[in-house]
Each structure stands twice: as C-alpha cells, then as structure tokens.
Structure 1
Amino acid sequence: MDFKKLLAYQKGFDLAMSIFEISKSFPKEETYPLTDQIRRNSRSVNANIAEAYRKRKYPRHFITKLTDSDGENSETSTWLDFALECQYISENVYRDLSNQAIEIGKLINYMINNPDKFGVKEE
C-alpha cells in the first residue's frame, strides 16, 4: 500500500491545505511568527507519516516518526489557538480545523498503538 492511501495522511493533507488557504489572509506582520509556523507544522504531520511508513521495517523508527507527526499535529493545534485569540480566524473555522486535528491525532495514535496493522514486524 502507498502511504498516500493512509487515512491519517489524507486527512492531514486536507487540514494542511485548509490551513494554507486560510493563512493567506493573516496579517503581513504574522508572516513568520504565525503563518510560516502553522504551515510548516501542518505539513510536517504528513511528511513524518510518509517517513514512518517507509521505515516500517524498523518498529522503533516507525513509532518515533509517528510520535514526531503527533507532536507536529499538536503544534498545529497550538497555532490555531493563537490564530483564534488574535481574531485571524472565526470561532467556526477554529472549531472545524481543531476537530480535524483531533481526529488526525487519534488516527496517528491508532497507528502508534497498532503498528502490526501497518506492516510493521516485531524485532
């Protein structure tokens, strides 16, 4: 199976693209502090899922990369908190994106807790 068919990857990609579109409206003074950070974190979720999947021959590497992915997802949620508090996004947008991030976190944690279902063989 291709890592792009993993549900966590697909949902992570959708969230990253939504964040990219929404962050286009953030103020110029937030280009690095918020816009760049939230874009990079949301994209790193997927990059780490892809790397984890390719390293599934090595159980510890698989779990480590997924743990990194989960961390990036949590950072994305933190940046969403700031975007809401700074009034760059509405409460509805915040709730929708946050719920997506929560779902992605659950999917990543399922992969961490069930590596055998993703082709990982115990050492």
Structure 2
Amino acid sequence: MSCQNLQVYQRAHEFGVACHRLSMDLPKFELFESGSQLRRASKSVSANIVEGYGRREYAAEYHRFLVIALASNDEAGEWLRYLAECHPDKASAVEPLQSENQEIGRMLNRFIGSLGS
C-alpha cells in the first residue's frame, strides 16, 4: 500500500492543487505575498503526510510528520481567511476551500488519534 491510497492524502493533495490554482488568480502584488504563503502551506499538508508515511515504521516520526501536516493545514486555513477578508471578490472561491480545509483538519486529527491506539 502507498500513502496515495490514504483518503486524507488524496484530499490534502487535491486541496493543495486547488489552493495553487486560486492563488494564481490573485492580483499580481498578492501572487508573491499571500499567494506564495498559501501555496507553500497547502502543499505542505500532503507533502508531510508522504514524508511521515515513508517513516511509518518509526511511530514517533510518523506521528511528528502528521502533526506538522496538521499545523500546515491550520496555516493554510489562516491564509484563506486573509484572502477572503482582504479580497471580498474572491470570497466565493475561497469558501469551499475553507470547508475542505476544516474537513482535512478533522481527518488528520482522527488519523493522528488512531495511531495512539
């Protein structure tokens, strides 16, 4: 089995792609400010799931990378909030990503919790 079979990875990867696409539609000055931060944070979620999965034989390392993925997801949520508030014209595009961000957070929390049992 590969980490690409994990539903949380699949959702996180799609989230990163969607955030990337949204960020490329921002005004030029935001492309390299908030847009860049959003791209990095959102892509870090799936990237840390992948890196953790590669270390899954070491439970503490696996857990650590999943916690980092969760923190990156939280950061991406904050950048989405900034975009919605600073660019009200983008709010309708940001809203579904905020919902997905929250669902990925719940999934990661459940996944991390399941590792302890």
Is this a same-fold pair by TM over 0.5?
yes
Of structures 1 and 2, the one scoring higher in RCO (CA 8 A, sep 6+) is 1
Task: Give the counterpart letter for 1:109 in structure 2.
Answer: N
RMSD: 1.6
Higher helix share: 2
CA gap of 1:27–1:48, structure 2 versus 1, over 3 A, is same
CA–CA separation in structure 2 for the residues paired with 1:38 and 1:17 = 11
Structure 2 match to 1:107: 107
Q: Is the aligned partner of 1:85 residue 2:85?
A: yes
Structure 1 match to 2:75: 75
- Identity of aligned pairs, percent? 29
CA gap of 1:71–1:58, structure 2 versus 1, over 3 A, is same
In structure 1, stretches of 5+ residues that fail to align are: 118-123
Q: How does 1:1-20 map to 2 (within 5 A)?
A: 1-20=1-20
Structure 1 match to 2:33: 33
In structure 2, stretches of 5+ residues that fail to align are: none
Contact 1:53 1:62 in 2 (8 A): yes
Compute the displacement of 1:69 (Å): 0.2
Compute the displacement of 1:24 (Å): 1.2
CA–CA separation in structure 2 for the residues paired with 1:68 and 1:23 = 22
Contact 2:48 2:65 in 1 (8 A): yes
Compute the displacement of 1:88 (Å): 5.8
CA gap of 1:32–1:90, structure 2 versus 1, over 3 A, is closer
1:62-107 residue CA offsets vs partner (Å, 9 max, x unmatched)? 1110000000000000000111011165333222111101111111
Q: Is the aligned partner of 1:56 residue 2:56?
A: yes
Contact 2:80 2:98 in 1 (8 A): yes
CA gap of 1:32–1:88, structure 2 versus 1, over 3 A, is farther
1:99-121 residue CA offsets vs partner (Å, 9 max, x unmatched)? 1011111111111111278xxxx
